[in-house]
Structure formats: C-alpha cells, structure tokens
Structure 1
Amino acid sequence: MKTDDMSMIELIGVSGNVLDDGVRETIARCHAVVASGRHVPLVEDLCERIIPIAPVQTMLERLAGELALGPVTVLASGDPLFFGIGRTLLGRFGPDRLHIRPALSAMQLACARFKTPWDDMAFLSLHGREMDTLAGRVLVCLRHTAHGKVMLFTDQHNSPDRIAALLLQTLEEYGAMELARTIRVQVGENLGLKDERLVEGDLARIAGLTFAPLNMMLISRESEAVFGPVLGLNEEELVHSRGLITKNEVRAVTLHTLRLPPSGVFWDVGGGSGSVSIEAARMCPALAVFCVEAKGEQQENIRANIRGHQAWNVRLVSGLAPAILSGLPDPERIFVGGSRGRLKEIIDICARRLKPGGRLVVNAVLARTAEQAPKYMLRHGLSVQVTRIGVSRWQETGEEQECVEDRQCVVDRRQPRQTTINPITIICGTK
C-alpha cells in the first residue's frame, strides 16, 4: 500500500451490530481498524490489522504509526462526537485528518424508546469518573433543567442500580425522601441489539436490580422546579442558631472576594449555618462545595438549608478542621469562616492544598485573627489583600399612633431605626 503523509482517519459511528455496504467498503480500503471488543466481529473479515480502542493512550500511539502507512478506520458507538472518542482524535490529529460519519447515539435510541424529547435535558457522562459528588450533580441537574430530565452515560462501575442507591442514600441523609418519591428512572439496556431491555421504576426499584454493562439511564423529576434567586438569600431564609450566620452584606462581599469559578472544588471551613456554601452552590451549580462543620447543631442547620434550597452540590463534611480536610479533593477556592483556635494549622494545610491561581479567604471578627491571618498566608507565598467592612442598616420599627384634635383619626408613622453590624476584616490570599 502506498505511503501517504496525510492518510485520513475514517471515524465511523456504529448503531446496533450491522455495517452497511458503504462502511464495509471504506474499511476494506484502510490499512488498519481501531475497534472495541464488541465491534471486532464486524470487521475481522475486512481487515487483518485490528487495534484495540483501549487503553486510549496506547491506541493513539499505534494509530499515529499506522497512519504513516495508510488510512485507518476508527469504529465508535453511535455519534463519536457526543461523549465519544471524536474529541480525543480531533485534539490529537486535528480536523483536517478526519472524515466523520456518525450513527444514532445510544442517547437518541433511549429517548426514542421512552418517547421523550431530548432537546431540554442535561447530560452527564460517568465513564471512568468517581462517584464522590455524583448524587449532588444529578440532583442539581434535575433542579436546574426546565423539565427536570438528566441522561446518564453509565459504565460498569457507575451502574444504574448503584447510582439509584446513592441517590436514595443522599436524599435520606438530608431528610428529603419526599423528593425521592417524585423521581422516575428509565434504563435502556443493549439498545439496538437482540437482547435489548427497557426498565422503568422509582429509585428503590432500580436500586434492587442488576443491569448489563451497555445501558443509558434517564432520570426525571415529576414535580415542578421552583427557581429562587441565584444570589441574595436573606438571613431569615436560612436556618441558623442564635444569630450565628454570615450576615447578608458580609456574605455578598465574601462571595465577591472569592471570585468563584463555574466548576471545580470549593471548601467552606467552619461552615456554621452553611450560608456561604448555599449561596455559592446556587451561583455555581457545577461547583462541588464541601461544607466542613464539627458542631452537631450546626450540621443539622446545614442539612436543613441544603434540603430547603435544593443546593445538592453542597456536601456536608462532619468533622474538625484541619484533620478532616485530608480526605477532600484539592480546591480552587477556600473560605474559612471559623477556626476554633486552629487558624495557623488550617491556613497551613489550606495554602498547601490550594491549586495554583486559587483563592483563600478568611473572615475575621476578632482583631487577633485579622492580625495573624495575613502573616500566615504570606509565609506560604500567597499574595494578600485585606478589606475591612462595616454595615449599618436602617429598618422600620413599626407604627406610631397620633390622635388629631376634634377628629377620631389615627395617623401611622413608621420610624426608621439604625442598627450596626460588627466590623469584619476580610483577608484574601491568592496562590
């Protein structure tokens, strides 16, 4: 076969287990074929050189070598540009080296089987991903999509039964089993194949079944979504104890100082009522928020606020910092609202674990904290900014009655009253 420095990659989607004549002719003209184990029987009579599609990095290296000898076909399931190998191949070889022929994706087949439009649903691929924050991500998608639908691309590890069990566990932990009863699950197995199976039920039913590795999982919410403000929850809207809550105005400045990314990891250390975590989660639905709190009463407040505001991307971490932080993923942002006398130790581990470009924000009520926090941050090479804010509120105190001479008349006069909030020092360290 003639060597061609610009040999093409024929990226072909497969739906079911049949190749049409045009695809078979293309494969027969190629020097080699990249295929998964279940696609090998479709091509073994057409090409002698068959490259396994996994592991992907090894496949890419072999593919580059085979392209020096001639064109190569890559077989992929469904639409290779929809959570498929297409993105990887485009990134490695560039668009000029690829011809792409998509087929119906498993997602499209599942929606057709369940007679469900898919232009208004969210999609999550779980292939090779950890389950740690999965339940929160799914529940957030159900809350934020207009019609409350999310399609999951599962794998052998993240199976429908395990996902359903995890959702039940999460909703039970936060006292939200009423929400569980409004969630419906549909699973399509081996779509387009002879042993195709469709299963429907609630979370409890799905959690008790087993499924073939090739499946799509559609989760939908039967209740209507209630959309509140993205930012601007009042203290009265958040469950808290004895006034122990980051005040509205201070919370707003704190969130501004954090400059939260749309996704990534955020630690809220000394979460208290969880007010900062809740607002951060509502602002950034794709952000994984870890709210660390040691006190049982405050933990109950956090659970109530997660449930009440459906901030499912907040995960309560029960324990005392800094020791409890070792089990969390490295963060892009950290807020320290309380240290319980361990400020130095907390800043030490936070500064080490913070990702480059990340921000560490400490709110200080006490003068000692305001003095020490910048010093500890500077020792770790952080760039430090300090802001001190004071807040005054004018509120109506009620009504005052006045009798007018010779007439039975009452005049309402609402009198404003000024209240002040203790000054807060906000220390921000940037890595």
Structure 2
Amino acid sequence: MAEDPWVTIIGLGEDGPAGLCSASRSALEAAEVIMGPPRHLSLLPGLAAERVAWPVPFADGIERLLALRGRLVVVLASGDPFWFGAGAVLARHLATEEWRALPGISTFALAASRLGWPLETTGCFGLHAAPLTRLRPHLAMGARLIVLLRDGEAVTALADYLCETGFGESRLTVLEALGGPRERITRARADALPEAEFAHPVCAALELAGGPALPLASGRADDWFESDGQITKRPVRALTLSALAPRPHEHLWDIGGGSGSIGIEWLLAHPTLAATAIEPRAERADRIRANAGRLGMDRLHVVTGAAPDALAGLTPPDAVFVGGGLDTALLGWLETHLPQGTRLVANAVTLETEALLTNAQARLGGDLLRIELSEPAAIGPRRGWRASYPIVQWSVVL
C-alpha cells in the first residue's frame, strides 16, 4: 500500500480553523510541522506542531519545505490554493504521491457571494505579483472583474490606473479580510476613492464604465502602438494575423519586430499563446517591450539581435512571421532549422524581396497575395485616391 502524502496543502480562510472541514482539522492536529505566512500561522490555536514562517520571496520556501521530507507537513495557503494560489507551484516540486490538497473557499467565491455576481461571467484575476496592465485587454464598458491585490496600497494604484485608462467612473468595491472578523467592504467610484488605509488580504471588484476598450478583432488601430514608423499597418496586420492563424498553445516568432504589433496581437488572440519578437535595433526592442506591457501582454519575449544568428536556442515556433529583412540566407536558415509543419508568413515591399518570395513559392508552394491599399488625399481643392506601396505576402506550411 502506498504511503500517505507527507505534505498537505490546506486552504485557510480569515476565520481560521473554524471554517475548515474535518479532514483539514485532523491534518493540522497530526502535523509535525506547519508552514505558512505569519498571518495564517497567527490564526491557529495552540498545536503541538513546529511552526515555520514561509519566507519572502515565496521561492525561497521551496527548498526549506523539501528539506522536511520524511515528516508530516501542513502548508497553509489562502482559500483555494489552486486558483491564483501556491498550490500549482508546490505541486511542480513534489511527486504526485507526496502531496494532497484540502482547498477552502476562494476569495473569488466569497466576493461574488457578497456582491451577488455570477462567477461564470465575471473576470477573475490574481495580481499579487503581476502588473495592473494585465487588466488592459479586459477593460470594457459593463464588464465585471474581481482582482486579488498585493496589499492595501495596490487599491489606490488600481483606482489611479482606471482613471489613467479612461475608466475613472467605474464602480469599485474594496473587500478586505473576507470571511473573518476584520471583514470590511468599501464602495466608491474609482475617481473618488476615499483616503483610507486598506489592509491585506484585499481584493477589488470592478463594474467598469468609460473607455476606450481595446478592440477584440485583429487589426487594431495603429495608434494603440507607439512606433517610429516601422509598423505593420492595420489592414495589412489583419491580413497577416489571418494568414498566421493562431491556435491555442502555439508559439510565434515575429522576426523584425518593429513596434511589436504582430506579436502583441497574436498574444491578444488567446491567453495560452506565446510569442517571441526578434528585433536587431535596441531602441525598437525597448519600444516593443513598452507596447506589450501597456497592452497587458508583458509575456511577450523580446530578443535584441539580428536573424538568423539571434534565433539559435529559442523555443521552436509553430508559426513565423517575417515582416522585413528577409533574404536568401535567412530563408535558407528557416527552411533547414524550422520543424516540419511550421507556418511561415512573409511580407515584401521591395522588388528584390518580392522576387525572393515568388521564387520560394514556386519551389515550396503556399499562397501568394498582392495587397494594394489606397487612401483619399487632397488633389488641389478636390480629393483622389493615393496608393501605398503594394505588399506581396507569401504564406506556406513548411
């Protein structure tokens, strides 16, 4: 018979052991060591177990926990340890048979029960250690969000961020120490948050009003991205994202990132997507990072360097976009190094690159598309169509 797990992860609420199930209480009584944040440890009654405060940063506690192997250990976490909690991190460092979890009521469930909100239609975010800009794609008139925050000061920072993005009239409900004797609920508009000291643990519930919202469709307006003019313009970007055809859990290489607009819009398509932007100019690489962070896509990995040299060692892609700088050497590298089945999309403006794409399509197959766009421009007192440089797009599955 397999041995019982030596680690039990218990979700503890602000009401302490009173809100625990019988299995959780039994695990606490049998424990030889109890690890957890000082706040959680302070909620426990007198127990025989040794108490160990989990250190900050959190990662420093993993080694200390593993050194206790062979003893019965309880690790305390907040509410549901597997919903923006410590559970997933701990599980990665332990074998399946070494741990079990006894979750409590999540902060999201407690907040929804106070507000009367259906969780299935409410956005839930854990921003203990993540920037507030992660919310940007979700800020839209009428949306409801529940956001776990690092501390009381983050409440003011959240209200300020809502005002900066045009959502200052949103209704903000601050919920402190839910489920315990210190529970407190404060309601205000984001632009009229009272001067008060909010205490950890704290979350905020948002009923959003204002704007502008970030559009959902590919081909967002160019002014969402800062650039020095090196940007795949909106209509071409929409066609390019359509050709790249992002699918869940895929990884994109955006070679010659420019402003980062292709990589950012790829990531906006689905939360499981990953992307790497490769940009030879340092100032543009910095601008890509800034654009990605501002739009909540700070998970965009930016590599400063020129392809193909900068591509060595990167996580293999499922799709590759080359917006500029494609030559025979780069195309040859991509052909010989990319996994079979990789989707490649390349755009050309110059005659030389167009010829390269035409020859590549004749040799490797795929589709060629010529994109010609015109915009109205003044011709004396009247207007006429001013054509942009035509763009040739090649898309192929290698």
TM-score under structure 1 length normalisation: 0.60
Q: Closer, same or farther in 2 for the Cα pair 1:8/1:231, shift >3 Å?
A: same
Determine the structure 2 residue equivalent to 1:408: none
Letter in 2 for 1:59: G
Determine the structure 1 residue equivalent to 2:323: 363
Determine if the alignment matches structure 1 residue 422 to structure 2 residue 390: yes
- Deviation for aligned residue 1:229: 7.0
Contact 1:350–1:360 (CA under 8 A) maintained in structure 2: no
- Deviation for aligned residue 1:82: 2.0
Determine the structure 2 residue equivalent to 1:62: 64
Q: Provide the secondary structure at the position in 2 that maps to 1:138.
A: helix
Determine if the alignment matches structure 1 residue 153 to structure 2 residue 163: no
Contact 1:79–1:105 (CA under 8 A) maintained in structure 2: yes
* Offset from partner CA, 1:144-195 (integer Å, 9 cap, x none): 9xx61221111139712112212322x2xxxxx3xx2552221101223333
In structure 1, the gaps of 5 or more residues are 172-176, 236-243, 293-319, 335-344, 394-418
Determine if the alignment matches structure 1 residue 167 to structure 2 residue 141: no
Give the distance between the partners of 1:264 and 1:91, measured in 2 at CA: 22
Q: Provide the secondary structure at the position in 2 that maps to 1:159.
A: helix
Map residues 17-416 of structure 1 onto 2, 5 A cutoff: 17-20=15-18, 22=22, 23-43=24-44, 45-55=46-56, 56-69=58-71, 71-129=72-130, 131=131, 134-135=132-133, 137-143=134-140, 148-156=143-151, 159-169=154-164, 171=165, 177=166, 180-206=167-193, 209-222=196-209, 230-231=217-218, 246=233, 248=235, 251-253=238-240, 255-257=242-244, 259=246, 269-271=257-259, 276=262, 280=266, 283-284=269-270, 321-326=281-286, 328=289, 331=300, 347=306, 351=310, 355-358=314-317, 361-363=321-323, 373-375=327-329, 383=337, 387-388=357-358, 389-391=368-370
Contact 1:362–1:427 (CA under 8 A) maintained in structure 2: no
Q: Closer, same or farther in 2 for the Cα pair 1:258/1:128, shift >3 Å?
A: same
Letter in 2 for 1:193: G
* Offset from partner CA, 1:58-99 (integer Å, 9 cap, x none): 433333343413x22222221222222222333333443334
Give the distance between the partners of 1:332 and 1:260, measured in 2 at CA: 18
* Offset from partner CA, 1:321-355 (integer Å, 9 cap, x none): 54241473784589xxxxxxxxxx97359936994
In structure 2, the gaps of 5 or more residues are 223-230, 290-297, 339-343, 347-356, 359-367, 373-386
Q: Among the aligned pairs, what percent are the same residue? A: 17
> Which structure has the larger Rg?
1
Contact 1:148–1:225 (CA under 8 A) maintained in structure 2: no
Q: Closer, same or farther in 2 for the Cα pair 1:210/1:355, shift >3 Å?
A: farther
Letter in 2 for 1:357: P
Q: Provide the secondary structure at the position in 2 that maps to 1:80.
A: coil
Q: Closer, same or farther in 2 for the Cα pair 1:263/1:187, shift >3 Å?
A: farther
- Deviation for aligned residue 1:215: 0.1
Give the distance between the partners of 1:221 and 1:330, measured in 2 at CA: 25
Q: Closer, same or farther in 2 for the Cα pair 1:291/1:34, shift >3 Å?
A: closer
Q: Provide the secondary structure at the position in 1 that maps to 2:39.
A: coil
Give the distance between the partners of 2:271 and 2:87, measured in 1 at CA: 27
Q: Closer, same or farther in 2 for the Cα pair 1:157/1:19, shift >3 Å?
A: closer
- Deviation for aligned residue 1:19: 1.6
Q: Closer, same or farther in 2 for the Cα pair 1:61/1:164, shift >3 Å?
A: same
Contact 1:149–1:218 (CA under 8 A) maintained in structure 2: yes
Letter in 2 for 1:12: I
How big is the alpha-carbon RMSD for the aligned residues of Structure 1 and Structure 2? 5.0
For these two proteins, the number of residue pairs brought into alignment is 338
- Deviation for aligned residue 1:421: 7.6
Q: Closer, same or farther in 2 for the Cα pair 1:280/1:356, shift >3 Å?
A: closer
Q: Closer, same or farther in 2 for the Cα pair 1:78/1:265, shift >3 Å?
A: farther
TM-score under structure 2 length normalisation: 0.64
Letter in 1 for 2:322: V
